[in-house]
Amino acid sequence: MKETQPNTLYIIGNGFDLYHKLDTWYSSFGLFLKHNHSEIYDYFLEYFGFPELDEDDAESLKDPLWSEFEANLATLDIDQILSDHSDYAANPGSDDFSDGDWDTIAVYVAKIRDDLTIKMLGLFKEFILNIEFPDKSLVDILSINKNALFFNFNYSKTLEHYYQIPQKQILYIHNRAESEEMLVLGHGMNPQKFRKQDEQPPEGLTFEELDQWRERQADDFDFSIERGRDELIQYFTKSFKATDQIIQNNEGFFQSLKSINKIYVLGHSLAEVDKNYFEKIISSTKGNLVEWIVSYHNPGELEIKKQKLLDLGLKMDQVTLLKMTEIV
């Protein structure tokens, strides 16, 4: 007997975990860093411009820089880091100078880069693994089709814990906290955008003025500072969420969506950084008459979500927007 293919897909975002009373706010991760790894927390304040978090100030916990944590990972201020560590730049005129000094600042800033990528991701996994699941009696359980497929942006096992969904039906697109894999967390800006462009001379210079301009450029060039800049530029690649490659790695899952005619989006903001995934899901179900049921948290989100759905190419007559509690 031929196995029936699922016709329902659930796309699960962080709002789903928050609905189930899991403390997965990015600001809570910030507080975790503040209390346990203050050096990295301070980096976010100093080099990204994130505001100070205060448990007793609810407004500070809702700040959009923390709420949109992933997108704001692209705002690292390289020049500020280099300025703060300029004492480590090489000084060829010093009596104590050695060739190894050319790399000193690069070594220091490379540690900051690795703390903000490799170490931060490890700490984020630690944070997720330490989040407590409230007792089921304290949670309003949704009516979910347990035979569906699940495209899960979250790292926690909420679907398994409260709904007993078999892991084989869930694609943890950014990996699962309990696996050995590194979690995927990052911005969506092309890393090439952050490459320093060679400065061009002003137009209309005479040959003599051009020679003078080039001489000034050579005098201002600091090899050790540029070595540090090269190390820091790598941050943007290391913190980049390579959605195209992730999609390619999971092509089999997208191929399995051919029978889908109903899609629920639960607790996802439709953020730009994840747009490629939604486009791939839409193209994978192309030709199907697909009904979309999309959750929203507050009325202020309605128009924003409608526009994002339209931008994805969906028609509003195939979309229903509901609060999570209304999805049955």
pLDDT at residue 111, rounded to an integer = 96
Half-sphere exposure of 54 (CA within 13 A, CB side): 7
Q: What are the beta bridge partners of residue 170?
A: 150
User: What distance in Å separates the CA atoms of residue 156 and residue 3, rounded to the nearest whole number?
Assistant: 29
Q: Under a CB-based contact definition with an 8 Å cutoff, are residues 193 and 39 in contact?
A: no
Q: Under DSSP, is residue 8 helix (H, G, I), strand (E, B) or coil?
A: strand
User: Measuring CA to CA, which residue among 90, 91, 126 is closest to residue 107?
Assistant: 90
User: What distance in Å separates the CA atoms of residue 4 and residue 14, rounded to the nearest whole number?
Assistant: 30
User: What distance in Å separates the CA atoms of residue 290 and residue 259, rounded to the nearest whole number?
Assistant: 10
pLDDT at residue 125, rounded to an integer = 96
List the chain domain ranges. 1-21+133-189+241-328
pLDDT at residue 220, rounded to an integer = 53
The CA radius of gyration of the chain, in Å to the nearest whole number, is 24
For residue range 281-302, list pLDDT tens digits in order: 999 998 668 999 999 988 888 9
Nearest 5°: the CA angle 236, 184, 250 is 115
Q: Under DSSP, is residue 323 helix (H, G, I), strand (E, B) or coil?
A: strand
pLDDT at residue 251, rounded to an integer = 96
What ranges make up the beta strands (E) of the chain?
8-12, 149-152, 170-172, 262-266, 291-296, 319-323
pLDDT at residue 103, rounded to an integer = 75
- Crossing angle of the two packed helices 26-36 and 120-129, in degrees rounded to 10: 110
pLDDT at residue 123, rounded to an integer = 96
Answer CATH for 1-21+133-189+241-328 from 1.10.357, 3.40.50, 3.90.930, 3.30.70? 3.40.50
Q: Under a CB-based contact definition with an 8 Å cutoff, are residues 73 and 239 in contact?
A: yes
pLDDT at residue 88, rounded to an integer = 82
User: What distance in Å separates the CA atoms of residue 207 and residue 293, rounded to the nearest whole number?
Assistant: 66
Distances, alpha carbon 243 to alpha carbons 180, 258, 272, 279, in Å: 20, 21, 11, 11
pLDDT at residue 43, rounded to an integer = 97
User: What distance in Å separates the CA atoms of residue 317 and residue 308, rounded to the nearest whole number?
Assistant: 15
Half-sphere exposure of 264 (CA within 13 A, CB side): 24
pLDDT at residue 286, rounded to an integer = 81
pLDDT at residue 2, rounded to an integer = 47
pLDDT at residue 1, rounded to an integer = 39
pLDDT at residue 87, rounded to an integer = 85
Q: Under a CB-based contact definition with an 8 Å cutoff, are residues 67 and 26 in contact?
A: yes
* Residue stretches of the chain with pLDDT short of 70: 1-4, 90-95, 97-102, 194-201, 209-223, 287-288, 328
